[in-house]
Structure 1
Amino acid sequence: MRIVSVDLGARSYPIWIDEGILSHAELLLPHLPQPNGVIVTNTTVAPLYLETFRAALERHGVAVSAVVLPDGERYKNWETLQRIFDALVDVRAERETTVIALGGGVIGDMAGFAAACWQRGAPFLQVPTTLLAQVDSSVGGKTAINHPRGKNLIGAFYQPRAVLIDTATLRTLPARELRAGLAEVIKYGLIRDAAFFEWLEHRIESLLALDAESIAIAVERSCRNKAEVVAADETERGVRATLNLGHTFGHAIETATGYTQWLHGEAVAAGMMIAAEVSLRLGWLTENDCARIEGLLIRAGLPVRGPALDTDQVWQLMTGDKKVVGGKIRFVLLKGIGEAVVTADVPKTVVDAALAARLG
C-alpha cells in the first residue's frame, strides 16, 4: 500500500492507494466520529461498487444508507444537491454523520459541498473511482456545484478526513474517462515536476494499458504533488493557483458547450495547449517544449484543439471565472516544462492569437 499525507496541521489526512482496497473499510473507522454514514454515488458506479463497499463498512458495524444520483457533469447543480440533503433528512443524519463520496469528480464535489453545508459541517470521506478524481479532485478540499454561466462558481473549501483510492476501479472505467484523467496527471509534470513529465513520455502507453505498477506510480506521484501544493496554500492565495493550468480556458469550453460534449479532462487538455500557445507567443516556452506537450497529449488520446467557439464568448466566460482578481484574469502559463507562472499581464492580442490557433 502507498500512503500520501496531506499536511494541514490538526486537519491533516491520509491518502491510501492500493488495488482491492475498497473492501478494507477498517482503514476508515478511525475517521468516523460515530458508526454511521451516507454514501453518495451515481447510477454508473452504484451497480459496480456500492454493495461491495457498503458490505465492507457493515462488517465493521457501520450502518450506512445510500443516495444514488444521475451521472454526468450536467447534473452538478442545485437540484441534484438537494437530493443529497433530502437523503440526509430522511435518515435523520446528525452533525457527526459521515458523508462518503463514492464515484468520480462530480460526486466528490457535490458530496463534499453537501457535507460542508449539512448542519454547518459534517465529516466527509472521499472514495474516488475515476482516474481524474483519484489524482486530482478528491485531494485538496475543493467542493462545488456549477452555475449555468460558470463552472464551480458555488462551493467551499472543505477537506475530507481521509481518501481511499482503489486503483482496481479503473478497470471498469471507460477508455475515454481514463484518457480524460490523464490530462490532470500530465498537468503535474507541466507545472512543477519535469522529471515526472519525462517519465510520462516513456510510460504513457503503459498507463493507457492499465499496467498496475505504472498506474500506482502515477497516482501516488500526482497525489504527492497535489498534497504538497495544498499544504503550502490551502485556499489558493498563491502557488495553488498553478494547479489551474488549462482550467481557465477549459472551463470556458465546458460552459460554452453546456457541460454535455466535453469531459473535464478533455477540456483541460485543450486548455493546456492554449496556455502553451500563449506561453510560446510570449517567448517563455520553446518550440521544442510546445511540441513535446502536444505530442504527449496526442499519445494520451487527448484533444490539442478546442471546439469552434467565438472568441468574444470565450472572453466573456473567462471574465466570469472565479480566478478573476480585481477584474483581471489570472492566466496560468509556462516558463518551461515543470515551471508554471500565474500572471494577469498578458496582452489580449496574444491570447486572441492563441485562441485563433487552437480553437476549431
Structure 2
Amino acid sequence: MYTRYGKDLARGLGGDGIPVNVLTVPEGERAKGWPQLTDLCERLVAAGVTKDSVIAALGGGMVSNVVGLAAGLIYRGVRFVEIPTTMLNLTDGTLSNKQAINGALGKNQFGMYHAPLFIWADVAYLRGEPPRQHRSAIAEAVKNGLVHDAAWFERLERLLTPGLEAVREDLLGFCHEVVRSKLGILALDPGERQAGIILEYGHTVGHAVEFLTGGRLLHGEAVGIGMCAAARVAMKLGIAAPKCWSVSSTSCATASAARCGCRTS
C-alpha cells in the first residue's frame, strides 16, 4: 500500500511544507490485535507524535481500525484522518467512527468511538481492487437495503443483475449511493445504541465466521453468510416468510448477495 499510494501522498504533503513521518503496519485480520496496536503506539510516540499532530490512516478497514484506535489512545486522543483505499472501508468502515481490535476470543472486542477530522474518499484507489473485494463491499450495501430501505434494495438488485460491470463503470455514483444509504441510518442514532443497532444485522454470526476462519473470508463475505443465518432464524421464529432457500449461504456471500432472497421485509 505504501509503494502503491503512500509514497505519492507523503511526497505531496512534504512538497507543501508539511513534515511527514511514514510508519507502515501489516495488513490482514490476523494483525488486528494487541501486539500490532501496542507496537504502533510505541512507534508513533518514538517518532515524535504530539497533541498537535495529525495521524493519517491510509488503507483498508484493518489499517483504519488499528490506526484510529492508536490515535484515540495516545495522549487521550490525537487528531486523525482516514484515507480508505478499499470499497468496503470507503462505503462502510469509515462512517461509524468505531475503532477496534480483536481479542483472543473474538472480533472487535476492544475499542472506542474516535471520530476522524475528516475522511478523504477517492474512488481512484478502488479501481485496482479485484472483483472479490467489490463483492464483499456490496454485501454490506445489501444489508443497508434489507434493514432500512426496500427501494434501495430493489435498485441494487436491478443494478447487479448483469453482474459487477455497472458498479465498476460508475464507482463514484455507486459509492455515493451506498454511503447515503448508511448515513441515513446513522443520522438517527450515531452511537448505534438504539435505532442504529439494525446495522449489526448479519454481524453476530458474520463476525464469528470471520474470526474463526482467521480472515480467510472477507468481512462482507462473512456478513453475507451471517445475514442468511439471521434470515433462517427469523423464519424459524415465524417473523419472516421463506423466500429462497435453494441458494447456499456461501453462494449468497461470494456470488451475488442481492439475488439470495434472504430478506426479512
Global fold match (TM > 0.5): yes
CA, structure 1 residues 132+293, in 2 after alignment: closer, same or farther (shift >3 Å)? farther
Question: C-alpha distance in 2, partners of 1:100/1:235?
Answer: 23
Once the two structures are superposed, the pairs formed by residues 251-270 of structure 1 within 5 Å of their partners are 251-257=207-213, 259-270=214-225
Residue 129 of structure 1, aligned match among 82, 85, 88: 85
Once the two structures are superposed, the pairs formed by residues 89-128 of structure 1 within 5 Å of their partners are 89-128=45-84
Q: In the alignment, is the contact (CA less than 8 A) between 1:104 and 1:133 conserved in 2?
A: yes
Alignment RMSD? 2.7
Q: 1:297 offset after TM fit, Å?
A: 5.2
Residue 232 of structure 1, aligned match among 173, 185, 188: 188
Residue 204 of structure 1, aligned match among 160, 168, 175: 160
CA, structure 1 residues 290+95, in 2 after alignment: closer, same or farther (shift >3 Å)? farther
Question: C-alpha distance in 2, partners of 1:205/1:110?
Answer: 36
Give the corresponding residue for 2:106.
150
Q: 1:102 offset after TM fit, Å?
A: 0.5
Matched, 1:280 2:235: yes
Structure 2: where are the runs of 5+ without partners?
A: none
Q: In the alignment, is the contact (CA less than 8 A) between 1:115 and 1:123 conserved in 2?
A: yes
Q: In the alignment, is the contact (CA less than 8 A) between 2:136 and 2:219 conserved in 1?
A: yes
CA, structure 1 residues 216+284, in 2 after alignment: closer, same or farther (shift >3 Å)? farther
Structure number with the higher strand fraction is: 1
Q: 1:208 offset after TM fit, Å?
A: 2.3
User: Which amino acid in the other structure matches residue 25 of structure 2?
Assistant: L
Structure 2 length-normalised TM? 0.89
User: Which amino acid in the other structure matches residue 37 of structure 2?
Assistant: L
User: Which amino acid in the other structure matches residue 29 of structure 2?
Assistant: E
Q: 1:293 offset after TM fit, Å?
A: 11
Larger radius of gyration: 1
Q: 1:175 offset after TM fit, Å?
A: 2.6
SS at match of 1:94: coil
Q: 1:152 offset after TM fit, Å?
A: 0.4
Percent identity, aligned pairs only? 33
Q: 1:96 offset after TM fit, Å?
A: 1.8
Cα deviation, 1:150-181, whole Å, max 9, x if unaligned, reads 10010001111111111121122133222211
User: Which amino acid in the other structure matches residue 40 of structure 2?
Assistant: I
Structure 1: where are the runs of 5+ without partners?
A: 1-44, 305-332, 337-360
SS at match of 1:172: coil
CA, structure 1 residues 71+284, in 2 after alignment: closer, same or farther (shift >3 Å)? same
Count of aligned pairs: 263
Question: C-alpha distance in 2, partners of 1:89/1:297?
Answer: 41
CA, structure 1 residues 297+250, in 2 after alignment: closer, same or farther (shift >3 Å)? closer
Question: C-alpha distance in 1, partners of 2:201/2:137?
Answer: 14
SS at match of 1:150: coil
Q: 1:79 offset after TM fit, Å?
A: 0.9
Q: In the alignment, is the contact (CA less than 8 A) between 1:125 and 1:163 conserved in 2?
A: yes
Q: In the alignment, is the contact (CA less than 8 A) between 1:203 and 1:214 conserved in 2?
A: no
SS at match of 2:111: strand
Residue 82 of structure 1, aligned match among 38, 43, 68: 38
Matched, 1:65 2:21: yes
Question: C-alpha distance in 2, partners of 1:265/1:62?
Answer: 36
SS at match of 2:240: coil
Structure 1 length-normalised TM? 0.67
